[in-house]
Amino acid sequence: MIRHSPVLLLTAMLGVTLYAFAQAQDQPKPADQKNSSTTVPAPIPAPATGDPNYQIGPNDTLNVSVWKEAELSGTVPVRPDGKISVPLLDDVQAAGLTTMQLSSQIADRLRKYVSDPRVTVIVTAINSRRVYVLGEVNHPGGFSLLPDMTVLQVISDAGGLTQFARGKKIYVLRSEEGKQVKYAFNYDKVLKGENPEQNIALKAGDTIVVP
């Protein structure tokens, strides 16, 4: 019969205990309960325009953010009557104002309910300013008008000309002082860098006709 020394047995038991402890230390620790429940702030949406003088219009989409007041913040559409709905305030006139003017107006009215309200308004979609492309383009229809947008850029947004388009006969229709004015646009020459004055900056309501 083999006799085991008490010292050897004690050493073996100690080794097993140390190994188990080391394995436990290597196991991934559960995330701190407090940290796991931390609310991540919603990302700030990208503005549709960087022009501080842009005047909000009907059908635009706005993001209204009130600092530390999540229940008062959110994305809202501008109704056809030019107003938006804000919690506690009901209807607020938005059309015709810049984002800074609207922020100030909302903040002033919120002071009845919130101490030192800090309001930020961002235009996230411009739908009030539109131009239209008709005729021989791949995707005719209405397009959102961005600041300083030109005829060539809108034609590009419309998918370019079809193979049947007469690029030299394109024109822009614009209403000025109650009259319809026509502006010629020679697509071929503008692409070559000629007649750059024809590549005009468009205005809301303009219609590009591609025969």
Q: Which domains does the chain have, with CATH numbers?
A: 61-125 (3.30.1950.10), 130-210 (3.10.560.10)
What integer pLDDT is reported at residue 24 of this predicted model? 54
DSSP letter for each residue of 136-149:
SBSS-EEEE--TT-
Higher local confidence (pLDDT), 33 or 75:
75
User: Once rounded to an integer, what is the mean pLDDT over residues 8-37?
Assistant: 51
CA gap 5, 2 in Å, rounded: 10
Looking up tokens 């009259």 gives: 179
Q: Which amino acid, 21?
A: F
Report residue 2's pLDDT band, with 50, 70 and 90 as the boundaries: very low
pLDDT at 31 > cutoff 80: no
Model confidence over 70-128: pLDDT tens digits? 999 999 999 999 999 999 998 999 999 999 999 999 999 999 999 999 999 999 988 88
Closest by alpha carbon to 140, among 131, 128, 148? 131
Indicate whether 53 pLDDT > 70.
Answer: yes
This model's pTM is above 0.85: no
Q: Of 160, 184, 174, 69, which is closest to residue 116 (Cα–Cα)?
A: 69
Cα distance between residue 128 and residue 141, in whole Å: 15
